[in-house]
Amino acid sequence: MPIKEGERVYLQLEDGKKYLIKVERGKFFSTHLGNIYFDQVMEKEFGEEIYTSQGKKAFLLQPGIVEDIFHMKRRTQIVYPKDLGFILLMLDVKENDRVIDVGLGSGAMCGALARLVGEGGKVYAYEKREEFIAIARYNLSEWGWEDRVEIKEKDIKDGLEEREVDALFLDVPNPWDYLEECWRALRGGGRLAIVSPTAGQVMEVLRKLESLPFRGTEVWESLFRQYKVNPSAFRPTDRMVAHTTYMIFSRKVLPSACSSDLKEAEN
Amino acid sequence: MPIKEGERVYLQLEDGKKYLIKVERGKFFSTHLGNIYFDQVMEKEFGEEIYTSQGKKAFLLQPGIVEDIFHMKRRTQIVYPKDLGFILLMLDVKENDRVIDVGLGSGAMCGALARLVGEGGKVYAYEKREEFIAIARYNLSEWGWEDRVEIKEKDIKDGLEEREVDALFLDVPNPWDYLEECWRALRGGGRLAIVSPTAGQVMEVLRKLESLPFRGTEVWESLFRQYKVNPSAFRPTDRMVAHTTYMIFSRKVLPSACSSDLKEAEN
Amino acid sequence: MPIKEGERVYLQLEDGKKYLIKVERGKFFSTHLGNIYFDQVMEKEFGEEIYTSQGKKAFLLQPGIVEDIFHMKRRTQIVYPKDLGFILLMLDVKENDRVIDVGLGSGAMCGALARLVGEGGKVYAYEKREEFIAIARYNLSEWGWEDRVEIKEKDIKDGLEEREVDALFLDVPNPWDYLEECWRALRGGGRLAIVSPTAGQVMEVLRKLESLPFRGTEVWESLFRQYKVNPSAFRPTDRMVAHTTYMIFSRKVLPSACSSDLKEAEN
Amino acid sequence: MPIKEGERVYLQLEDGKKYLIKVERGKFFSTHLGNIYFDQVMEKEFGEEIYTSQGKKAFLLQPGIVEDIFHMKRRTQIVYPKDLGFILLMLDVKENDRVIDVGLGSGAMCGALARLVGEGGKVYAYEKREEFIAIARYNLSEWGWEDRVEIKEKDIKDGLEEREVDALFLDVPNPWDYLEECWRALRGGGRLAIVSPTAGQVMEVLRKLESLPFRGTEVWESLFRQYKVNPSAFRPTDRMVAHTTYMIFSRKVLPSACSSDLKEAEN
């Protein structure tokens, strides 16, 4: 099945350079190794090779979620795949779930959540900065997830509008200020994930979580190490990412002696 | 909404012990801190607390994919959540995908794949050892994924029956022996993930991949470090998992000068 | 050259068990695989094998600093070799140096420092808890370093007595309280190393260091991963030490505009 | 005590740039922030600050072993401090030891060994490439260790000339070819350390070690992670060294049934 107009293509040049492009009839994409003509692309299938105007080889691949994230339009720090995969598991996001994403940023986490909740689910994404909303909207539309996401241009200081959500992802500089509100929005047993880059932030969040009806709190960090793929000199690469973020996970509980203000808030 | 008969519950005792149990009317679950009566459980909602016959507190939570994996019936090594989340991203598994899982083992990866492909997708799981199939079938049924999985009691030496699959997960002691067959089963651009615990196995796989029409090969390992959650003594735990597996990723390509035997096999 | 009476021997049994023992004429050492008779040991050289009373093999090796540390008498947390080697380099301890060790604890770091300063150097070790001094004295005497160490049973709240020392190792729960005093004891350019297990402690130290004439502050942590030595299944061990301590390093400087109280204290 | 002519100074400019320079009367050192006049340096003590011709501040510090290594003249890969400290402990190098260093390279490990063996010890350094010997000789002379080192311009294929050495450091591309010779040179219980960057090399070494009278073989790798020193944003740096080398350690034993050729070789 040949590649169609409007499809997004992950182009791998023979020198290893990679681009995420969108097929437009009659046009071309310009690289340092020559042009790729989209009309020629549309005669190919995914997986096939194509030649640039300079006769250099390139492969035509489908972009996946990892390529989408690394090549997306963005003006914010993103959640890296090394952490993203783990967070999605720990949040247990699955089809038909209703989840909240605070703050939206450039939309990477939002897109990942939207992908998982399926057609029957919904992602409520909060973002107070207008300029990020435009970027995120563009990205979500490119990936095809607009219908599953409800973007709210709102400061979460003013509260979350949903109740009984299955999971909540919180990525703001001062998460400790919003944990009661997160509690209110979650269903009983609902899952909370917070990312914070500094140790002091995590300590502040932990201090606050202790005073609220959350249980099973865990804090993790991940180190991913890549290896060179030369089989006769198999060894890790020389350098690696040392730190992206700490990841904090917890679950809402409903103790009988639950502090009354929270109880009321829930009703 | 109260917990129903037949539902699976992740029980957290006040001393931190955790159990995955299934609600059966009129029966009880016995712990070292006393019994939990299911009839009482059925008067509670998820997130609420309950008391054992000894008056000890416990929380009633929903099990998620991470709890399912750590509490599942198994007789094989499992893929850990720290690796699983990343593999699922790198394989780009999503709704409506058709994917192959070799070998099935106790079914953890198969369940994770089934969850992601949605009702419109399918997982083809190969396993030659009858005793594992029984365990995996039990687990998949507990999780509710039987309909999305087609289990094949078959040695993959005899070939994979599917073609044009989106992704393939290969977890066998000698993956290098099956890479041509994996290539045949994948669609152009389709994604392959292999887990191998030893460096020698990875080197052997890399040697073989070099000779086949695969591109974009990457090898990774992950180290996840957990922290103590006491905010006034925030620090990593004393010990951690040092190694589970190396993860190898690659993608099928269709070069024009693709070796003829593979071309033929594809048709 | 045969092993002599009074010598310390690192015994490796054929099942992998290891003991650090001291040769005493006419006596024996009892193991779960039978007795080792010291009179027989004294007929052997280091590196040779010996048989237990049950006919099991064992090797007679010299203990080194790593074996000394892991087999020493102790009632405190020790500095692990993985960190110790790096700290010794960063402190630049060498022959003829005068260094301070606060607190002494069981004496592991003190012994390592004494070893490096040579006969012309000196280690001043502060410890306020009498019971640890007895243990440390025993260990230092076993290793042969008593002459190079001057133990001071003193709370460092009452001040350090030395001036112009080359390096200072600080291992106390509240290092931030003693940094002025460390500054006074060090020579210009002298090196300070602090070990603290929690992030909060490090932050507190950093806050204090910023306000004092120290430069070149660095904070490090180390992860050492061991591998299985089976060449056909080369891979890391399953578990590892995840955390021992953060290591903080800095150097005393003498700015012209140095805060006057410190200046005076120095004179 | 003022800094003297000929002394080596570790200069830290106020912008963080660092240089290792040597004081020469009447001359100056040129930096991007202005000149440092050595005659002014000789009026200062270590730890004090000095001003460049542009009025920029700099601190005058003594270089230590870590600064020596990172600023030395070199044309080879060096052993990093993160690994070096651990290797020195595992080799148990101490005053009066006789040790062998193969190959010398630029002399970093040789200098570290020379520093530890004291005036009563000796380092025998083998190197077959003349151009490296010149560099190493220069470095060792700068550090003041020439007298403790005997450099041998020799291919170790032709054998090691020493016997009964306490420790041996082996850093060559094909260490497995020289393990019998290392065994001959070591005393009973003597310690061997090998550095190899690739997994394949380590596997080859392990295969060979199994067939020789060595015991207690261990393989390690180290990951050191540095932290940002801003106390209110305490977190690891973004990137880190992912790999330098695997470290292999073992000890020579003298089994009664030791293979006869080795026995003979020893006499």
pTM: predicted TM-score of the whole model, two decimal places = 0.95
Supply the DSSP string of chain D, one letter for each residue. Answer: -B--TT-EEEEEETTS-EEEEE--TT-EEEETTEEEEHHHHTTSBTTBEEE-TTS-EEEEE---HHHHHHHS--SSPPPPHHHHHHHHHHTT--TT-EEEEE--TTSHHHHHHHHHH-TT-EEEEEE--HHHHHHHHHHHHHHT-GGGEEEEE--GGG-----SEEEEEE--S-GGGGHHHHHHHEEEEEEEEEEESSHHHHHHHHHHHHTTTEEEEEEEEEEEEEE---GGG--B-SEEE--S-EEEEEEE-B-TT--HHHHHHH-
Question: pLDDT for B123-177, tens place per residue?
Answer: 999 999 999 999 999 999 999 999 999 999 999 999 999 999 999 999 999 999 9
**Structure confidence at residue A32 (pLDDT):** 96
Q: What type of residue sits at position C117?
A: V
pLDDT on residue D43: 97
pLDDT value of position D72: 93
Share of chain C above pLDDT 90, in %: 93
* 8 Å CB contact between A255 and B49: yes
pLDDT of residue A257: 59
**Is pLDDT above 90 for D88?**
yes
H-run or E-run covering A170: strand A165-170
Q: How far A177 CA lies from chain C's nearest CA (Å)? A: 20
The residue of chain C nearest to residue B198, with distances taken between CA atoms, is C235
Q: What's the pLDDT tens digit per position in A62-78? A: 999 999 999 999 888 88
For residue A130, count CB atoms less than 10 angstroms from its CB and return exposed for 0-12, middle for 13-18, buried for 19 or more.
exposed
Nearest CA in chain D to C207: D231
Average pLDDT over residues A208-234: 97
Q: Is C215 left (phi over 0), alpha (psi -120 to 50) or beta?
A: beta
For residue A40, what pLDDT is reported? 97
pLDDT of residue C261: 46
- Of D178 and C1, the one with more pLDDT: D178
Q: Distance between CA D32 and CA D53 in Å, rounded? A: 11
Interchain pair D224, C219: CB under 8 A: no
Average pLDDT over residues B207-216: 97
Q: How confident is the prediction for chain B on average, in pLDDT? A: 94
- What domains can be seen in chain A, in order of their start residue? 8-63 (3.10.330.20), 67-266 (3.40.50.150)
Place of tokens 């049950």: C54
> According to the model, what pLDDT value does residue B77 have?
87
CB distance D232 to A197 below 8 Å: no
Give me the mean pLDDT over the C12-34 stretch.
96
**Dihedral, CA of residue C3, residue C7, residue C13 and residue C19, to nearest 10:** 180
CA distance C101 to chain B (A): 24
Chain B residues contacting C via beta carbons under 8 Å:
197-200, 223, 225-226, 232-243
Q: At which residue do the structure tokens 């990477």 appear?
A: A108
- Give the pLDDT confidence of C95-151 residue by residue, as tens digits: 999 999 999 999 999 999 999 999 999 999 999 999 999 999 999 999 999 999 999
Q: What digits encode the pLDDT tens for the residues A102-122? A: 999 999 999 999 999 999 999
Task: Using the predicted structure, report yes or no on whether residue A260 has a pLDDT greater than 50.
Answer: no
Q: How many CB pairs under 8 A join A and D?
A: 58
**Contact between C235 and B243 using a beta-carbon 8 Å cutoff:** yes
Chain C residues within 8 A of A243 when measuring between CB atoms: none
Contacts 24+ apart (CB under 8 A), C92-97: C92/C166, C92/C167, C92/C191, C92/D62, C92/D64, C92/D65, C92/D66, C93/C117, C93/C166, C93/C167, C94/C118, C94/D65, C94/D115, C95/C120, C95/C121, C95/D95, C95/D115, C95/D118, C96/C120, C96/C121, C97/C121, C97/C166, C97/C167
> Which pLDDT belongs to residue C257?
59
- Which residues from chain A sit within 8 angstroms of residue C199, using beta carbons? 199-200, 203
Please tell me the number of Cα atoms within 13 Å of B194 on its side-chain side.
29
Average pLDDT over residues B173-196: 98
Asked if C41 and C51 count as a contact pair (C-beta separation under 8 A), the reply is: no
* Residue B132 token pair: 């594992």
CA-nearest residue to A228 within chain D is D198
Which residue from C187, C188, C206, C177 is spatially nearest to C100, judged by alpha carbons?
C187
Which residue from C minimizes the CA distance to A200? C200
**8 A C-beta contact, residue A45 and residue B254:** yes
Question: CA of D248 to nearest chain A CA: how many angstroms apart?
Answer: 15
Q: How confident is the model at residue B261 (pLDDT cuts 50, 70, 90)?
A: very low
Whole-number CA gyration radius for chain C: 22
Please tell me the predicted confidence (pLDDT) of residue C56.
Answer: 96
**Per-residue model confidence (pLDDT) at position D160:** 98
Strands D214-227 and A28-31: unpaired
Predicted pLDDT at B255: 87
Amino acid present at D222: S
Q: How far is CA B254 from the centre of its chain?
A: 29
Interface test with B, best of D201, D202, D203, D207 (most B CBs within 10 A): D203
Please determine, for residue B257, whether its predicted confidence score (pLDDT) is greater than 90: no
What integer pLDDT is reported at residue C267 of this predicted model? Answer: 40
Residue B196 pLDDT > 70 = yes
Residue A77 confidence (pLDDT): 86
Q: Are strands B186-196 and B246-252 parallel, antiparallel or unpaired?
A: antiparallel
Length of chain B equals 267
| CB-CB neighbors (< 8 A) of D1 in chain C | none
ipTM computed for the complex? 0.95
Q: Say which DSSP state A157 is in.
A: G
pLDDT in the model for residue C173? 96
Q: Tell if the CB–CB gap between B242 and C237 is shorter than 8 Å.
A: yes
> How many residue pairs from chains A and B have C-beta atoms closer than 8 A?
192
Structural tokens at position D213: 């009278």
SS3 content of chain C, % helix, strand, coil (to 5): 30, 35, 35
Three-class DSSP category at C148: helix
**According to the model, what pLDDT value does residue C76 have?**
82
Judged by CB atoms closer than 8 Å, whether chains meet at D190 and C251 is answered as: no
Is the pLDDT confidence value at A267 over 90? no
SS3 call for C185: helix
pLDDT at A265 over 50: no
Residue pairs spanning C and D at CB distance below 8 A: 194
Query: Nearest C-alpha of chain B: how many angstroms from A127?
Result: 25
Residue B266, pLDDT > 50, answer no
Which residues in chain C touch residue D175, judged by CB atoms under 8 angstroms apart? none
Select the residue of B199, B223, B240 nearest C235 (Cβ to Cβ).
Answer: B199
| D141, amino acid identity | S
pLDDT > 90? residue A256: no
Q: What is the pLDDT of residues D103-137, one digit of tens each?
A: 999 999 999 999 999 999 999 999 999 999 999 99
Owner of token pair 């049973």? C153
User: Please, are residues C225 and D221 in contact by the beta-carbon 8 Å criterion?
Assistant: yes
Q: What is the mean pLDDT of residues B38-53?
A: 97
Question: How much is the pLDDT for D259?
Answer: 45
Nearest-CA distance from A206 to chain D in Å? 16
Q: Calculate mean pLDDT across residues D214-225.
A: 97
Q: Are strands C246-252 and C186-196 parallel, antiparallel or unpaired?
A: antiparallel
- Among B203, B220, B243, the strongest candidate for a mutation testing the D interface, having the largest count of D CBs within 10 A, is B203
Please give the Cα distance from D6 to C183 (Å, whole number): 28
Taking CB atoms and an 8 Å limit, are C95 and D95 in contact across chains? yes
A259 has pLDDT over 50: no
Q: How far apart are CA B86 and CA C71, in angstroms?
A: 41
> In this predicted model, what pLDDT tens digit does every residue of A117-148 receive, in sequence order?
999 999 999 999 999 999 999 999 999 999 99
Question: What percent of chain D is modeled with pLDDT above 90?
Answer: 93
Contacts of A203 in chain C (CB under 8 A): 199-200
User: Measured in whole angstroms, how far is the alpha carbon of residue C216 from the centre of its chain?
Assistant: 24
Q: How many residues are recorded in chain D?
A: 267
Mean pLDDT of D21-49: 97
CA C49 to chain centre: 30
Report the half-sphere exposure of C92 (CA within 13 A, side-chain side).
19
Residue of chain A whose Cα is closest to the Cα of D197: A235
Of the partner residues C47, C203, C219, the one whose CB lies closest to the CB of residue D252: C47
- Is the peptide bond preceding residue B105 cis, with omega within 30 degrees of 0? no
